């Protein structure tokens, strides 16, 4: 197999420091790519730096060190990079599916590296498949199926968040808080009901089971164990494990407001850990800070309007509305 250097020109990135750059709104400036594993490696959007031309769209970025070493992304807009990020430019024309395939192949070598073993010197010598051996399914994949889904629901620009004016509200005044129920593996036969566990990904859905759902859609789930304080909006009726608390709103909550509240709840992570769970009793006594009206009530309308200006908000409204499924009163456990 050819070495990476036979397929790509490898250059070191800009080595810029984010705290010395001027930030701007998402997608309104230049993407700043770091060693971050998620969000396509983009940590922020920044104002153009005088005298420093951005790297062109169409290159791969690869983390050379850190926890995300060898995490590789295709950048589809001009970008700057942080320290220890390599730029990979194809030596001959490649399609978008081919570039994404090679990004996956490079990332598959992550197991060879760690904090103590960086990829600065060895990246160029990684073995990769030649272009003529890329599987047919790569070009056949519909990679544009999510095109346009990052659009906001409205075009207006949101006002900056003034958290100093926010007020504290007890979770128990905003929500009825219920604990999930233990379910053994023997009872988890494959079905179509989302099973929400104490995980940090996939909206908390660990698998799909055939058990009867215990909670209706339109609520928030918060892990009290495992990945403590991970919060997710659940649009569908579901079954929650006993490591999860379910927050049923006492107000009219739509998907955008719920996602705003989830982001605030996640900010409470630092208060809890394996030795200090966010159990039902603690959660009922906990408070969060939210935007407030002049009458000192939660400003749900502001939260909705703010979220509607953010990327993907249009998709959040559409997809969650399509997925929403309440639970008949007769299906809710009395406990």
- Taking alpha carbons only, the member of 99, 103, 120, 119 closest to residue 111 is 119
Please say if the pLDDT value at position 289 is more than 90: yes
pLDDT band of 330, cuts 50, 70, 90 = very low
Angle among Cα 289, 201, 325 to the nearest 5 degrees reads 80
**Sheet of 175-179, strand order:** 175-179, 244-249, 219-223, 231-234
pLDDT (mean) for 191-211: 94
Q: Where are the beta strands (DSSP E) in 123-226?
A: 167-170, 175-179, 190-196, 205-209, 219-223
Residue-wise pLDDT for 292-323, tens only, equals 999 999 999 999 999 998 888 888 887 776 66
Given this chain, do its domains 4-140 and 163-331 carry the same CATH topology? yes
Tell whether the model's pLDDT for residue 331 goes beyond 60: no
Q: How far apart are CA 10 and CA 124, in angstroms?
A: 7
pLDDT at 62 over 90: yes
| 159: pLDDT strictly greater than 60 | yes
Q: Name the residue among 136, 77, 138, 81 with its Cα closest to residue 104.
A: 138
Find residue 60's DSSP bridge partners: 74, 88
311 vs 36 pLDDT, higher one: 36
Its sign, for the CA torsion 302, 308, 310, 315, is: positive
- Considering 73-87, 103-117, 136-150, the range whose residues carry the highest mean pLDDT is 73-87
Q: Alpha carbon of 154 to those of 70, 157, 302, 307, 335: distances in Å? A: 37, 8, 14, 9, 42
The beta-strand segments (E) located in 116-197 are 167-170, 175-179, 190-196
Mean pLDDT value across residues 1-19: 95
For 259-285, how does the pLDDT look when each residue is reduced to its tens digit (9 = 90+)?
999 999 999 999 988 788 999 999 999
Asked if 215 and 244 touch (Cβ cutoff 8 Å), the reply is no
CATH topology of domain 163-331: Adenine-n6-DNA-methyltransferase TaqI; Chain A, domain 2 (3.90.220)
pLDDT exceeds 50 at position 334: no
What are the structural domain ranges in the chain? 4-140, 163-331
As a whole number of Å, the end-to-end CA separation of the chain is 62
Q: Where are the alpha helices (DSSP H) in 142-254?
A: 171-174
Q: Is the pLDDT of residue 18 over 80?
A: yes
Predicted pLDDT of residue 335: 45
Mean pLDDT of the chain: 91
Separation between Cα atoms, residue 249 and residue 262, nearest integer Å: 12
Predicted confidence band of residue 98 (pLDDT cuts 50, 70, 90): very high
Question: How much is the pLDDT for 278?
Answer: 93
Strand partners, 273: 276
Nearest to 260 by CA among 212, 202, 322, 303: 303
- According to CATH, what is the number of the domain 4-140? 3.90.220.20
């Amino acid at each position: 197999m050819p070495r990476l250097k036979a397929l790509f020109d490898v250059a070191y990135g800009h080595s810029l420091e984010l705290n010395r750059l001027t930030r701007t709104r998402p997608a309104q400036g230049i993407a700043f790519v770091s060693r971050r594993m998620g969000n396509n490696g983009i940590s922020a959007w920044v104002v153009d730096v005088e005298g420093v031309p951005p790297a062109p769209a169409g290159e791969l970025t690869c983390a050379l060190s850190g926890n995300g070493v060898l995490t590789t992304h295709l950048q589809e807009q001009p970008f700057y990079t942080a320290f220890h990020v390599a730029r990979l430019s194809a030596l001959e024309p490649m399609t978008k599916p081919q570039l994404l395939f090679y990004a996956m192949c490079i990332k598959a070598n992550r197991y060879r590296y760690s904090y103590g073993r960086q990829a600065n010197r060895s990246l160029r010598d990684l073995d990769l498949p030649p272009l003529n051996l890329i599987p047919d399914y790569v070009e056949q994949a519909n990679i544009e199926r999510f095109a346009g889904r990052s659009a906001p629901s409205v075009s207006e620009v949101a006002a900056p968040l003034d958290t100093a004016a926010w007020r504290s509200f007890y979770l128990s005044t905003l929500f009825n808080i219920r604990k999930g129920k233990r379910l053994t593996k023997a009872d988890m036969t494959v079905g179509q009901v989302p099973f929400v566990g104490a995980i940090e990904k996939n909206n908390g859905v660990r698998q799909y089971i055939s058990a009867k759902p215990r909670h209706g859609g339109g609520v928030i789930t918060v892990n009290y164990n495992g990945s403590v304080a991970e919060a997710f909006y659940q649009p569908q009726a579901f079954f929650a494990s006993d490591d999860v608390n379910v927050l049923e709103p006492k107000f009219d909550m739509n998907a955008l407001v719920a996602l705003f509240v989830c982001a605030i709840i996640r900010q409470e992570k630092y208060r809890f850990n394996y030795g200090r769970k966010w159990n039902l009793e603690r959660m009922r006594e906990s408070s969060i800070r939210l935007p407030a009206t002049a009458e000192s009530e939660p400003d749900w309308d502001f939260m909705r309007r703010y979220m509607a200006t953010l990327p993907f908000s249009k998709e959040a409204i559409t997809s969650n509305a399509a997925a929403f499924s309440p639970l008949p009163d007769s299906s809710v456990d009395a406990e």
